């Protein structure tokens, strides 16, 4: 599968020493639309259009998420659901990193969307406004927030979906674990984040239509993931499909076809003859 590379993703040279990818977590928040639009299946996913000036993926429409930081390696007051060792097997990494990825997924989802994947019961998220602000400002860790609210992380609310690695030629690289989660009953995703200019629910096919018309910019992993989840009619089907997915690192490649730069993904027959980079203006894309 392939799509046109968004503007600004080309690099002119390949770094002599490729940047080591930073671990990151991305969360596909899904729900079933209470009143589906005519001709649409119920499944919706929460998408954010990032601020144009951001160093990575500026102006792109993305799923919520971000890099793992030191706070995500702190010991939690409690944890229910699959433990880090189980997540390590699922994500093909060591247990310490797997635990940090799950924490980052839960933290970023709360910071960016106001959805807290924790329990017991349904957290009174509206009462944690100050705690959310402290988390965003890095005055507190997820462990601090959960402990103060008498909550524990619920990893059973997450499912692994994919793992995408930024191409070698990029000056900023991430090794991102993609998770999927149903918005817990009683909670609502919001757009209260400084990292996005807008955030709302989309039918996957609708988002792809906007990309096709040029109204939306999507990176290759987002594009492909929207295609994949768009094959499912509702959130239950997506969560069930996640249980059977094989998670392995995927690095998109690129090639030039005339004036267009095309992203080539691993299931494309041209993947093996494509490049990790393209130099602007050269027909073959050599460095």
| Averaged pLDDT in 10-residue chunks for the chain of 287 residues | 47 64 97 92 93 64 94 93 97 96 97 95 90 95 95 97 87 93 94 79 95 86 92 97 94 72 73 58 31
Distance CA 240, CA 246 (A): 13
Burial of 12 (0-12, 13-18, 19+ CB in 10 A): exposed
**Helix, coil or strand: residue 40:** coil
**What is the rounded distance in angstroms from the CA atom of residue 150 to the CA atom of residue 133?**
18
Domain locations along the chain? 20-245
> What's the pLDDT score for residue 214?
85
Domain 20-245 CATH assignment equals 3.40.50.720: no
pTM for the full predicted model? 0.86
Residues near 10 by beta carbon (within 8 Å), at least 6 away in sequence = 261, 277, 278, 279, 280
- Beta-strand runs (E) in the chain: 2-4, 22-32, 43-50, 61-62, 65-67, 79-80, 118-119, 152-154, 159-165, 174-182, 196-202, 249-250, 253-257, 260-264
Distance between CA 53 and CA 250 in Å, rounded?
A: 27
Specify whether the CB–CB gap between 219 and 50 falls below 8 A. Answer: no
Query: Are the CB atoms for 184 and 120 separated by under 8 Å?
Result: no
Residue 40: what pLDDT? 93
- Residue 134 has a pLDDT of 96
* Closest residue by Cα to residue 43 from 273, 233, 267, 262: 233
- What pLDDT does 52 receive? 62
Instruction: Name the nearest CA neighbour of 101 among 76, 84, 113.
Output: 84
**CA dist., res. 166 & res. 29, Å (int):** 22
CA–CA separation, 201 and 10 (whole Å): 29
Cβ proximity of 250 and 271 under 8 Å? no
| Cα separation values, 230 from 47, 76, 195, 204, Å | 14, 35, 26, 5
Q: How many CA atoms lie less than 13 Å away from 137 in the CB half-sphere?
A: 7
CA–CA separation, 237 vs 94, rounded Å? 29
Q: How far is CA 253 from the centre of its chain?
A: 19
């Amino acid at each position: 599968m392939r799509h046109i590379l968004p503007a600004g993703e080309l690099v002119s040279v390949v770094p002599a020493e490729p940047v080591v990818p930073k671990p990151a977590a991305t969360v596909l928040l899904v729900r079933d639309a209470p009143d589906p639009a005519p001709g649409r299946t119920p499944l919706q996913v929460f998408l954010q259009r990032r601020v144009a000036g951001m160093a990575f993926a500026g102006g792109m429409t993305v799923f919520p998420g971000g890099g793992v930081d030191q706070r995500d390696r702190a010991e939690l007051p409690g944890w229910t659901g699959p433990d880090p060792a189980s997540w390590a097997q699922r994500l093909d990494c060591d247990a310490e990193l797997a635990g940090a990825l799950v924490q980052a997924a839960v933290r970023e989802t709360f910071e960016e969307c106001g959805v807290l994947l924790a329990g017991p019961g349904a957290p009174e998220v509206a009462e944690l406004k100050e705690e959310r602000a402290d988390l965003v400002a890095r005055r507190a860790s997820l462990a601090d927030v959960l402990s103060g609210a008498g909550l524990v992380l619920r990893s059973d609310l997450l499912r692994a979906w994919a793992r995408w690695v930024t191409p070698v030629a990029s000056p900023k690289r991430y090794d991102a674990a993609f998770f999927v989660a149903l918005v817990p009953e009683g909670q609502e995703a919001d757009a209260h984040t400084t990292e996005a200019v807008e955030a709302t629910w989309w039918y996957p096919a609708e988002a792809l239509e906007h990309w096709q018309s040029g109204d939306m910019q999507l990176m290759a992993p987002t594009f492909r993931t929207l295609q994949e989840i768009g094959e499912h009619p509702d959130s239950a089907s997506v969560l069930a499909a996640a249980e059977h997915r094989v998670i392995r690192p995927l690095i998109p490649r690129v090639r030039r076809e005339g004036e267009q730069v095309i992203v080539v993904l691993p299931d494309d027959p041209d993947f093996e003859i494509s490049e990790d980079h393209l130099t602007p203006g050269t027909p073959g894309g050599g460095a």
